[in-house]
Chain A
Amino acid sequence: MRVGLVCPYTWDVPGGVQEHVRGLADALIDLGHYVSVIAPANEDEPMEPSYVVPAGRAVAVPYNGSVARLAFGFLSASRVRRWLKEGDFDVVHVHEPAAPSLSLLACWVFDGPLVATVHTAMPRSRVLHVSAPILQSALEKISGRIAVSEAARTTLVEHLGGDAVLIPNGVSVRRFEKADPLPGWPADGGTLGFLGRIDEPRKGLSVLLEAFKLLAVERPGLRLLVAGPGDADEALEQLPAALRGRVVMLGQVSDEDKVRVYHSVDVFCAPNTGGESFGIVLAEAMAAGAPIVASDLDAFRRVLRGGRAGELFENGNPADLAAAAARMLDDPVRRATLAAAALVAVRDYDWQVVARDVLRVYQAVAPAAGRVAAAAL
């Protein structure tokens, strides 16, 4: 099948949607399909991987409460039109179609089988409410809708009507399975790990720092490895000065180093307090074989098989997190058992599996092209 994927956000900035598009593209190519991805990016920079086509300038604009780098306007629209013409796709799959960027433009200019995946949950979004009439005419061309979570599906139904099939995010298990730990890690006295925006309260770093305070007293060698963008100094203010030296803030890390971070810790902590529709970070840690302690959000509970593939603690409770982490740190056998169970559980979320579900959607909206592709399944 010839598949065109449209990514609305700049390719060179890490993000959940970009990660999703890349994982899906790689899996589809592995399954024998032709894939081309268009994304906002400057044309003079070489694109990695080679199936990515730059759509030209991405502009930083305020959107939905933060600043996003998007591609919009008639020039971007004509680039999309040219890409569609040259690609001659059997199906075009746009991501986050309501964002004012390439995906919406692709819906606007493409006449053919269209599939769209909604990623973000925006409960009662007033922005969506205002723009619904504008979106309507472009979005009604979409024949197959996918939501990555129940919350994303609700957003779609509430604002734009229609229904969607639920296909969760995938994780490229292969990419995370093997990696060398970062030099000097894990520390001899035990290492806790965290990955995510450090200044986003819902990622729960402050809960982990409180737990670290409790643990650090009795474990002088214990260290905390934190990877993710945000103001490190501000985050560390929460800790007494004596403990700050035992927390290492890596800041934003490359894709390669991210994998190594998972391999550099004794216990990976996911203290998210909410808003996490699926927890891609959790699935990545599972794929890397890291023993996991996670908050007992519904989504996390489900991914961790109710606690059989990782320890759960009471959401937002640092004492409970500290207790769970201590149990893990003191019991290497339990760590190994949970990590092994996690590696099995995460197979369900492997892109190789998820991409097959996506292909079924393609076949449903483009039956003629799907018949050829069915042989490749």
Chain B
Amino acid sequence: MTSLIVIVVLALIGVYVSWRAGRLDRLHARLEAARFALDAALVRRSSVALELASSGLLDPATSVLLAGAAHDARAAQTARELPESDLTRALRAVFSQPEFRASLSGVQDAQELLAELEGASHQVFLARKFYNDAVAATQAARRRWLARALRLAGNAAMPEFFEIDDSLVPAGEDDQEADMPHLTT
């Protein structure tokens, strides 16, 4: 009788542990997908910025500024947060010029490229938000005593937040309470 109870309890514990492990596994899968999406969004943003810089639509000073920032962002393998923030700041400086849109209104291809860059910036904002969300969830799950005691996460490195400045609205001018960044029009 006692042995039966022991077996049942052990089986229940086994089911519970494997359920926790499975949950952690799913969280890691979600994290991987989010990381992939974030990486793609960042690469796309710097590519479009570089395309705008070399398009000849802007004056050479603005082009050099954008090209430098976009290149640094794309070339960074580790420690990407600073160059990506710098790219955001460069974009913000370029787009927040008074009448910037108006100055390009008659130019072929310009509106298309600006819209693409705006879209890519939105994508970075969203992808980063979802990635950090996944990081927070994974970190919380892995800090549980069971996950730590049984090393349910295996050798996977503890995920870290990706903190960059990705707001395209200059600080202090955030008049709309919207969550999405917008390039000034």
Contact = CB atoms under 8 A, between A and B. Distances in A.
Interface of A: 59-64, 70-77, 98-102, 104-105, 107-108, 126-127, 130-131, 133-135, 137-138
A87 B10 CA distance: 91
Contacts of B75: 126
A101 B65 CA distance: 9
B67 A131 contact: yes
User: Which of A60, A105, A131 has most B Cβ within 10 Å?
Assistant: A131
Residue among B58, B64, B69 with max Cβ neighbours from chain A (10 Å): B64
A126 B65 contact: no
Given A70-B65, A130-B50, 12 more contacts: A72-B62, A73-B100, A74-B103, A100-B60, A100-B64, A102-B61, A105-B59, A105-B61, A108-B60, A126-B75, A127-B68, A131-B64
B72 A127 contact: yes
Q: Main SS of chain A's interface residues?
A: helix
B94 interface: yes
Give the bracket for the number of chain B residues in contact with chain A.
20 to 34
A138 B90 CA distance: 21
Contacts of B89: 61-62
A98 B64 CA distance: 8
B172 interface: no
6 contacts: A62-B86, A72-B62, A100-B68, A130-B50, A130-B68, A134-B64
Contacts of A59: 93
Nearest to B55: A134
B97 A100 contact: no
A63 B68 contact: yes
Contact of B65 (A63, A107, A108, A133): A63
A73 B101 CA distance: 12
B59 A72 contact: yes
B64 to A, nearest CB: 4
Given A62-B86, A130-B71, A73 B97 contact: yes
B60 A126 contact: no
Given A61-B93, A134-B53, A76 B68 contact: no
Contact of B90 (A62, A73, A76, A137): A62
A102 B60 CA distance: 10
Interface in B103-133: 103
- Secondary structure at the B interface, as helix, strand, loop or mixed, is helix
Contacts of A75: 97-99
Given A61-B89, A61-B93, A75-B98, A100 B61 contact: yes
B68 to A, nearest CB: 4
Q: Which 5 interchain pairs have the tightest Cβ spacing?
A: A72-B61, A62-B86, A100-B65, A100-B64, A127-B68
B61 A70 contact: yes
B71 A135 contact: no
The residue among A71, A72, A77, A108 with the most chain B CB atoms within 10 A of its own CB is A72
A73 B94 contact: yes
Given A73-B97, A104-B61, A130 B90 contact: no
Nearest to B92: A61
B18 interface: no
A101 B61 contact: yes
A130 B67 contact: yes
Contacts of B53: 131, 134
Contacts of B103: 74
A341 to B, nearest CB: 44
A323 B90 CA distance: 48
A130 B90 CA distance: 16
Contacts of B97: 73-75
Given A126-B71, A127-B72, A133-B54, A105 B60 contact: yes
Contacts of B93: 59-61
B138 interface: no
B68 A135 contact: no
A332 to B, nearest CB: 51
Contacts of A126: 71-72, 75
Interface in B3-59: 50, 53-54, 58-59
Given A59-B93, A75-B97, A126-B71, A131 B63 contact: yes
A61 B93 CA distance: 7
Contacts of A102: 61
Contacts of B61: 70-73, 76-77, 100-102, 104-105, 108
B69 A135 contact: no
A101 B63 CA distance: 10
A130 B75 CA distance: 11
A93 B54 CA distance: 26
Given A61-B93, A73-B94, A134 B60 contact: yes
Contacts of A135: 60, 64
Contact of B60 (A60, A64, A130, A138): A138
